[in-house]
């Protein structure tokens, strides 16, 4: 099957993008022989950072590594004071990561806003407040 083993949509301070790409790619390469494919939005620090199997191999051979790859990428993003989510928001796929990396006070505020706007929890409302999720 063709497709990314792990796809990430992160943002980082522009000054840290080259170092982040180098270090995160090296850590994933130590895990498995995957190809990194990354591109960004010029000037805003948003980086699509994806990993694919080698040509001739299938994604299925490495898909079990997806959570570990995401942890590696998110740890590196956090180290460089970036955000684990950029233009696509948190959604369901990054909920666990948000709980892990978010500043507890900011996360509490985010949950309070969600509760105030949707007390019956009937709307799949994703609040995206652009703030870094790193600890103070």
Task: Tell me how far apart the alpha carbons of residues 92 and 76 are, in angstroms, rounded to a whole number.
Answer: 21
pLDDT at position 130 is: 43
Question: What Cα–Cα distance (Å) separates residue 136 from each residue in 78, 102, 104, 131?
Answer: 11, 10, 10, 12
pLDDT attached to residue 34:
95
Orientation angle between helical segments 66-79 and 17-31, nearest 10 degrees: 150
Q: Is residue 25, in this structure, part of any structural domain at all?
A: yes
CA 81 vs CA 17, 20, 32, 106: distances in Å: 11, 11, 26, 15
Instruction: Decide if 102 is inside a domain.
Output: no
Q: Which domain holds residue 22?
A: 6-79
Whether 10 maps to a domain, the answer reads yes
| pLDDT at residue 126 in the model | 52
pLDDT in tens, the chain (136 residues): 578 999 998 999 999 999 999 999 999 999 999 999 998 876 888 899 999 999 889 899 999 999 999 999 999 999 999 988 887 777 777 878 888 888 889 888 888 888 888 888 777 655 444 444 444 4
> Domain holding 26: CATH number?
3.30.70.2740
3-state helix/strand/coil string of 37-93? EEEECCCCCEEEEEEECCCCCCHHHCHHHHHHHHHHHHHHHHHCCCECCCCCCCCCC
What total number of domains does the chain contain? 1
What pLDDT is recorded for position 136? 45
The pLDDT score that the predictor gives to residue 111 is: 83
């Amino acid at each position: 099957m063709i497709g990314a083993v792990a796809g990430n949509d992160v943002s980082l301070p522009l000054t840290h993008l080259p170092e982040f790409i180098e270090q995160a790619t090296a850590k994933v390469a130590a895990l498995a022989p995957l190809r990194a494919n990354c591109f960004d939005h010029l000037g805003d620090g948003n980086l699509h950072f994806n990993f694919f199997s080698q040509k001739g191999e299938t994604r299925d051979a490495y898909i079990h590594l997806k959570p570990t790859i995401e942890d590696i990428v998110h740890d590196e993003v956090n180290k460089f004071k970036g955000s684990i989510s950029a233009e696509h928001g948190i959604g369901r796929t990054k909920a666990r990561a948000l709980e892990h990396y978010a500043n507890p006070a900011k996360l509490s505020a985010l949950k309070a806003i969600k509760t105030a706007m949707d007390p019956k929890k009937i709307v799949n409302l994703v609040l995206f407040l652009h703030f870094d999720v790193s600890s103070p």
